[in-house]
């Protein structure tokens, strides 16, 4: 396994966790009830925590004076490797939940496999994160059911959220060259396996929620190789503003 593949792969995991954490933290103080404000902030916290672990590892792989912060704050959009799904707007609570449910379900099966990665560092990060991700997946699935099988209004709203976010979900399930090489090396995972499990789980939850799974198989891809949607630039402008304004300062 060459080092640059491992670095790229670790960046993908770190960047996805970071950008989702960043998005979720926008909710802090604005949730529909205090308990759910806490729940979502808690998930944001877990995501940022996971991002730090992967980015610390990536920084070590890169060497030199690279740090988690230089990776987070001094790369531009084309150098970010996060999934397109996680950079999408929060929208309303239902939009956030739809994004979270599809992501958490994927993340659960992904990390379940990453725990067995032949790369010790990745497997140990995954083992630690698994408890958190299990909670996230349970929480977001419960909310999909609650909104789908709640009132007529909530049913229609969450159905629309699901339809709207759907085009961004395919990328995470689609293996590219790097995914295949990493799987072959025993470090990454078999995404066909994850896809099958993801589909079964999504079907099960949507059925309980009395919701329809969108039929379109068309989806957008590009995040994993740095070709992002128009959203990411704004996320980064906000996130990186201070370190870029004062590049030689410590915080």
Partner 1 sequence: MGETHSLEERFQAYVDAENKVEPKDWMPEKYRKTLIRQISQHAHSEVVGMLPEANWITRAPSLRSKLILLAKVQDEAGHGLYLYSAAETLGADREDMIKDLLSGKAKYSSIFNYPTISWADMGAIGWLVDGAAIANQVMLCRTSYGPYARAMVRICKEESFHQRQGYEIMMQLARGSEEQKAMAQDALNRWWWPSIMMFGPRDEDSPNSAQSMKWKIKRKSNDELRQEFIDKTVPQAEFIGLTIPDPDLKWNEEKGQYDYGEINWEEFYQVIKGNGPCNAQRLAARQKAYDDGKWIREAANAYAEKESKRKAEKVA
Interface with partner 1 (CB under 8 A): 18, 22, 25-26, 28-38, 41-42, 44-45, 48-49, 51-52, 55, 68-69, 72-73, 92-94, 145-147, 149-151, 153-154, 157, 238-239, 241-243, 246, 248-251
Please identify, using beta-carbon distances, which residue of 28 and 227 lies nearer to partner 1: 28
Please identify, using beta-carbon distances, which residue of 110 and 158 lies nearer to partner 1: 158
DSSP for 189-248, written as a single string:
--HHHHHHHHHHHHHHHHHHTT-PPP--------GGGT---THHHHHHHHHHHHHHHSTT
- Residue 78 C-beta: closest distance to partner 1, Å: 21
Residue recorded with tokens 């690279």: 66
Give the residue among 155, 162, 149, 45 at the shortest CA–CA distance from 103. Answer: 162
Please identify, using beta-carbon distances, which residue of 94 and 223 lies nearer to partner 1: 94
| Residue 81 CA neighbour count, 13 Å, CB half | 19
Please identify, using beta-carbon distances, which residue of 216 and 248 lies nearer to partner 1: 248
Residues in the chain: 251
- Residue 47 C-beta: closest distance to partner 1, Å: 10
- Residue 48 C-beta: closest distance to partner 1, Å: 5
Q: 74 near 7, Cβ under 8 Å? A: no
- Residue 210 C-beta: closest distance to partner 1, Å: 11
Please identify, using beta-carbon distances, which residue of 31 and 226 lies nearer to partner 1: 31
């Amino acid at each position: 396994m060459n080092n640059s593949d491992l670095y790229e792969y670790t960046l993908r995991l770190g960047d996805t966790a970071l950008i989702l954490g960043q998005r979720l933290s926008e909710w802090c103080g604005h949730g529909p009830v205090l308990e759910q404000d806490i729940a979502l902030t808690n998930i944001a916290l877990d995501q940022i925590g996971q991002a730090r672990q992967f980015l610390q590892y990536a920084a070590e792989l890169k060497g030199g004076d690279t740090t988690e912060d230089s990776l987070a704050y001094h790369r531009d959009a084309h150098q970010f490797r996060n999934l397109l799904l996680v950079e999408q707007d929060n929208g309303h609570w239902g939009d956030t939940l739809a994004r979270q449910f599809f992501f958490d379900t994927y993340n659960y099966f992904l990390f379940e496999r990453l725990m067995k990665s032949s790369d010790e560092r990745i497997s140990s990060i995954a083992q630690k994160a698994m408890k958190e991700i299990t909670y996230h997946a349970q929480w977001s699935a419960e909310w999909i059911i609650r909104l789908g099988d709640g009132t007529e209004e909530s049913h229609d709203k969450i159905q629309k959220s699901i339809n709207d976010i759907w085009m961004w979900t395919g990328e995470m399930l689609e293996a590219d060259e790097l995914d295949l090489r990493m799987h072959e090396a025993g470090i990454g995972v078999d995404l066909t396996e994850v896809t099958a499990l993801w589909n079964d789980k999504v079907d099960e939850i949507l059925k309980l929620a009395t919701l329809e799974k969108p039929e379109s198989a068309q989806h957008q891809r590009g995040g994993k190789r740095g070709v992002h949607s128009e959203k990411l630039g704004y996320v980064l402008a906000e996130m990186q503003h201070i370190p870029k304004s004062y590049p030689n300062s410590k915080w």
